[in-house]
Structure 1
Amino acid sequence: MNSKTIAYGILRAVAVLIGIILLLWFLYKIQSVLVYIAFASVISLMGRPLVLFLKRKLKFNNTLAVVATLFIVIGLFLSIFTLFVPIISEQGQLIGQINIEQVSDDLNRLNQEVSNYFKVKKLNLVELIKQTDLMQFFDLKTIPNMINSFLSGFGAVLIGLFSVLFISFFLLKDSQLLENSLLIFAKKEDENRFMTAFNKIKDLLSRYFVGLLLQIFILFVLYTILLLVFGVHNAIAVALIAAIFNLIPYIGPLFGGIFVLILATTSNLGLDFQDVILPKLSYILIGYLMIQLIDNFLNQPLIFGNSVKSHPLEIFLAILIFGLLFGIGGLIVAVPFYTAIKVIAKEFLSEYKIVKTLTKDL
């Protein structure tokens, strides 16, 4: 091997490395666009069964079916948003009417009752709050900055919503658009295998996201009934937030339960702890745990049993690994990404024994 060949190899390796760095830098710069495409893809996967239903059963043409589906999606999100209006309005009124001395007295009394009941050392909650600078939230000087941040964020949200809906329209209208766009990265001889894998991924993920919506809806209904029975303020909005927490596997229900118990406590702040607050919290906690058991042993096996065609242990390990690598976001996207990896591996790496074992049900 002469010096020219070595120099050419080094230059080629450097060029490839520079190309990869530039590609990563470019992807980093357009990350918001990639997020829009990702959200639009999820909407198209979730809306695909509805579009097919409107076309086959109600005889809608393709464009009308897509427009109707997007209107339903928009209506769903607007309905969810309106559920938060009462709780935001009420909290705003409470902040405006807040009596710091009364809150201090209520917290100290609740703290004393909890300490006496559980026979633990009393904590100075007011001093703890002051040390965490939480009271700065009520500083009027921060209001202009909060308004400016809200307006700028609101503009970005509007742009994002328009972009997602615009992309979703064309992905729903032309079901082959995304496949054809990605097909340019495949070799000519691998195009058929690539299309087979992509269609399989689209079908599995479409069923998965529809099942996820159904799971959230069932939890929302059950949480609402529980909170209405025990008179928690803004039960519908609180139930929706707790249900959405379940999008995060395993730790999401824990956060949702803590959120429900905190709001149930603040709804009864000032009442007797032993006679009112503790019994109500206990009943709510028991009800919440029963709902989670129903979800874990009835909802999830029935809804997700055949959607991604993976063993529960596989799903658990995939969620654990993605969570360790990418945090909360990894927990949320673990199942879709693992499903896509399995389908691609089956199509292109089926000669390996481990791939055959893991993908035998696909």
Structure 2
Amino acid sequence: MLTYLGNWYKKHFSDPQAITLLFILVGLGLTLYFGASLLAPLLVALILAFLLEWPVQQMTRIGLNRTAGASVVLVAFLGVMLVLFLVLIPSLWNQGLSLISDLPNMLDKGMVAIKEFSAKYPQFVSAEQIDQMFAELKKFADTQHLLDLGKQLLGYSASLLVLMVYLILVPLLVFFFLKDKDELIKGSKRFFPSNRDLASSVWSEMEQQIFNYIRGKVIEIIIIGVVSYVFFALMGLRYSALLGALTGLSVLIPYVGATLVTLPIALVAFFQWGISPEFGYLMLGYGIIQALDGNLLVPILFSDAVDLHPVIIIAAVLVFGGLWGVLGVFFAIPLASLVKAVINAWPVTHEHLEQVEQQHR
């Protein structure tokens, strides 16, 4: 057993570059796992700076120095965010409150429909089961209960201190990351081992892929959200802005997100129209949007960024989402691609290569 372990270690860890790459990955992973909550503003600023680096480079190409380019890009970004928070967020918030207040009535209507179904087909579900199910649902759908819960969540997540940190500290960090990028990278290199050529090659391979993925995901969210909102509004569906935004954000979780957001859309449409042609047209149009997203938009946006099996993508979403929440879900595919790049770049001994060649002969 010890001999086998020794041979396995020599085969995979005999190269010093591999050891360096392993230590860097383990160190960064432990830092993120144990310090993510403390370093959240820093991590958010790093992510934003990474995304805004490309427009800053374009500013420098037209003649602006890096400080001026970073200032222009950051001001434009903050302006867009301000418009979103002043225009989009209040509308979504109001529609969310309206949906919460309508939930009891919607459940009553659904209960009547299901009871009618139970009366016609008692072999599938009994009246007692329906009464018990809706009694439990009404406890959670009570308007005051949901509003109180929302206020509690807001009280925990939107304290004055947290808002001050994110609204003031994060933009400052982004500005300095963009302005002093070269100096910061040069200074940080002394904390990493000198024999990091393998790690550098892996990062060089992943950097453009990560940027392409994040850029494509933002574009996909905007396109799907806007198209869904326009379609829902033309159909006259209630809460069209809220449901359109949810549909756009659902693309953050591949395969799973579309399934989750289908339920509230179908429920709202059913309680508004019942089983009618309008309900069928809405679900058909929604299905077409999802089909075009998966078969047309995603291949166009991510043709050079994602080459992973769907099973691996779902597993990555579950693992990284469980570790780091929303950020883990958003970066699940880039992180899975990073793992794949490390495995592909991991050095192997000449003896192992010879064994592989002999097996293929």
- State if a TM-score over 0.5 links the two structures: yes
Looking at structure 1, the residues matched to 30 and 300 of structure 2 have their Cα atoms a distance apart, in angstroms, of 43
Structure 2 equivalent of residue 11 of structure 1: none
Deviation at 1:71, TM superposition (A): 3.0
Pairing of 1:9-158 with structure 2 (within 5 A): 30-57=35-62, 59-81=63-85, 82-92=87-97, 106-112=109-115, 121=125, 127-132=132-137, 133-134=139-140, 137-138=143-144, 143=148, 147=151, 150-155=154-159, 156-158=162-164
**Residues 20-55 of structure 1: per-residue CA shift (max 9 Å, x gap):** xxx999866632233333322322222122222222
Query: Matches of residues 1-362 of structure 1 in structure 2 within 5 Å?
Result: 30-57=35-62, 59-81=63-85, 82-92=87-97, 106-112=109-115, 121=125, 127-132=132-137, 133-134=139-140, 137-138=143-144, 143=148, 147=151, 150-155=154-159, 156-176=162-182, 179-180=185-186, 183-190=189-196, 192-266=197-271, 268=272, 273-274=274-275, 278-308=276-306, 310=307, 312-313=308-309, 316-327=310-321, 329=325, 331-345=329-343, 349=347
Separation in 1 of the partners of 2:58 and 2:121? 57
Cα distance change, pair 230–117 in 1 and its aligned pair in 2 (3 A) = farther
Q: TM-score, normalised by structure 2?
A: 0.71
Residues 85 and 204 (structure 1), Cα distance of their counterparts in 2 relative to 1, 3 Å cut: same
CA distance in 2, matches of 1:279, 1:337: 44
Larger mean Cα displacement after TM superposition, 226-235 or 173-182: 173-182
CA separation of 1:173/1:206 partners in 2, compared to 1, >3 Å: closer, same or farther?
farther
The separation in 2 between residues aligned to 1:47 and 1:300, in whole angstroms, is: 22
Aligned AA (2:233)? L
Rounded to whole Å, the distance in 2 between the matches of 1:225 and 1:218 is 11
1:111/1:123 contact within 8 Å kept? no
Distance in structure 2 (CA, Å) of the matches to 1:54 and 1:26: 33
- The letter for the 1-side match of 2:109 is D
> Once the two structures are superposed, what CA deviation does each residue of 1:66-101 show, in whole Å capped at 9, x if it has no partner?
2232233333434444323224325546767x796x
Equivalent pair of 1:232/1:264 in contact (CA under 8 Å)? yes
CA deviations on 1:88-124 (whole Å, 9 max, x unpaired) are: 325546767x796x66753443334555788854657
3-state SS, counterpart of residue 192 of structure 2: coil
Shift of 1:135: 5.3
Partners of 2:190 and 2:283 in 1: CA distance: 53
Deviation, structure 1 residue 341: 3.0
Task: Pick closer, same or farther for the CA change 1:215–1:240 going to 2, 3 Å.
Answer: same
Between the two proteins, what is the percent identity of the paired residues?
A: 20
Moved more, 334-343 or 26-35: 26-35
**Contact 2:59 2:69 (C-alpha < 8 Å) held by counterparts:** yes
TM-score, normalised with respect to structure 1:
0.71
Say which SS state the counterpart of residue 195 (structure 2) adopts: helix
Query: Residues of 2 paired with 1:104 and 1:342: CA distance?
Result: 46
CA drift at 1:350: 6.8
Between stretches 33-42 and 103-112, larger displacement belongs to 103-112
Secondary structure at 1:246's aligned position in 2? helix
Q: Which amino acid aligns with 2:295?
A: F
C-alpha distance 29-61 of structure 1, shift in aligned 2 (>3 A): same
| Structure 2 spans left out of the alignment, 5+ residues | 1-27, 357-361
Residue identity matched to 2:229: T
Residues 171 and 177, structure 1, Cα contact 8 Å, conserved in 2: no
Aligned partner of 1:15 in structure 2 is none
Are residues 149 and 300 of structure 1, via their aligned partners in 2, closer, same or farther at CA, if it must alter by over 3 Å? closer
Q: 1:351 to 1:331 in 2, by over 3 A?
A: farther
Number of residue pairs matched by the alignment: 317
Displacement of 1:136 in angstroms is 5.3
Q: For the structure 1 residues 182 and 193, does the alpha-carbon distance in structure 2 shift closer, same or farther, using more than 3 Å as the test?
A: farther
- Aligned counterparts of 1:158 and 1:114: Cα–Cα separation in 2: 53
CA gap of 1:181–1:293, structure 2 versus 1, over 3 A, is farther
Deviates more, 1:162-171 or 1:278-287: 162-171
Alpha-carbon shift at residue 199 of structure 1 (Å): 3.7
Deviation at 1:252, TM superposition (A): 0.8
- How far 1:243 sits from its partner (Å)? 0.7
Relative distance call for 1:73 and 1:318 in structure 2 (3 A) is farther
